[in-house]
Structure 1
Amino acid sequence: MSAEFAGLAALVTGGSSGIGRATAVELRERGARVAVLDLDPSGLPEGIDGFATDVSSRPSVQKSVAAAADALGGIDVVVNNAGIGATGTVADQSDDEWHRVLDVNVVGMARVVSAALPWLRASAHASVVNISSIAALNGLPGRALYSASKGAVLSLTLAMATDHVREGIRFNCVCPGTADTPWVGRLLAQADDPAAERVALQARQPIGRLVTPKEVANAIVYLASPLSASTTGTVLDVDGGVTHLRVRP
């Protein structure tokens, strides 16, 4: 494997499973020192530090980011992957649910970046990758609140990229399609016919299958890498062609 992250320290939020875990493992294999911030950071692979963190709590984020920076000897890369889902139309969600999801999915990313800025500013290879979704770019049925939160992540990424470009901190965004993760598995389990719903999700993506966590992780690592030093303010789709392809049946 390439060792382009040798000597660099990376934080991955929501890194205990799915895309976050695959990203933490990929960064470690490419030479980075890695810490995961998660509500439950147990069961991580050897060589990856874990810190129990609630991204909806600023004190929790500040404490964990500082502890991770101390353990890793700094912070060069932040992968903002922590998030929660929501289903339904605008008529289905209470105000409390809107506040809860936006607080985790959007404000949570802002909290993490704000806490990490002192170390990112000191890094010669500072990079932040935020995880959005195809829901930010496509009108998906029954995903009003989730789509709004992920659209905000995309816009927030571009705003932060502009604010910090002169400081040498890069901000980019990945928009995964439906990925074969435990989170998607839990959503499928809630369907009336989980097997039929899985087939429908596979068919929605022109490649005819779900995206793998490792495929998304590879895109994240590409954007985070010091080899991509001229890439900032970029939105990278890893969606099996959903956003731009219109394949005839």
Structure 2
Amino acid sequence: MPPVPSPPPGPAPSPVVLDRRDGPYGEVVLRRHGDQYEIIANGVFLMDTSDGRSERLLVDEALAALDAYAPGRAGLRVLIGGLGVGFSLARAAEEPRWGEIAVVEREDAVVGWHREGPLAAYSRHALDDPRVRVVREDLVSWVRASGPRYDALCLDIDNGPDWTVTENNGSLYSPSGLAACRERLEPGGVLAVWSAQPSAEFETALRDAGFTGVRTTRVPVARGVPDVVHIGLRP
């Protein structure tokens, strides 16, 4: 008897909107798609909970660059720009050498999804860590204001320098925006920027802004084009 053919796979589940908020920066949406969660900002897919390797690498690469400059330092201060689904924050909270972890997040909804919602499992409740401080501000404005310096800035608020969520975010990657980032770093500090695709132009922009040791680390992903982390050091 010939084998019975398997039935064709059923249709993929449609995304389910769990929360939708309108704010001063536009619309932000939390969706569940199968067993994953997604954040959509102004109609642009921002990130989901399917992987997280490159978001964790954002923090790992910053720490590795600091170790190359001055190995073994503790009490380091890191700023995470964009809470997202929490992978970067969770990774930072795992490392005891980070003595202070600041998170700049402009969307109250995103913070709420981590405090009381389903994303708390992905940030591993790191908002309860006494080293963690949430700054409810727009990162682009915060960088340009006067304030404390950090050993590392780990920025992930867009799909990359060439694919921003809101138009104003583009100024973060401009010469003046990168100069402001440089001033927010201690000497020997590290700027790490997540991107959904490599950008040779952004590498050049980092060098032109006075960063040294500029490099790009790639993380292969299923969709083809690798996620990347751009690194630059303040001399």
Normalised by the length of structure 1, the TM-score is: 0.43
Larger radius of gyration: 2
Normalised by the length of structure 2, the TM-score is: 0.45
Whose RCO is larger (CA < 8 A, sep 6+)? Answer: 1
Higher strand proportion, which one?
2
Higher helix proportion, which one?
1
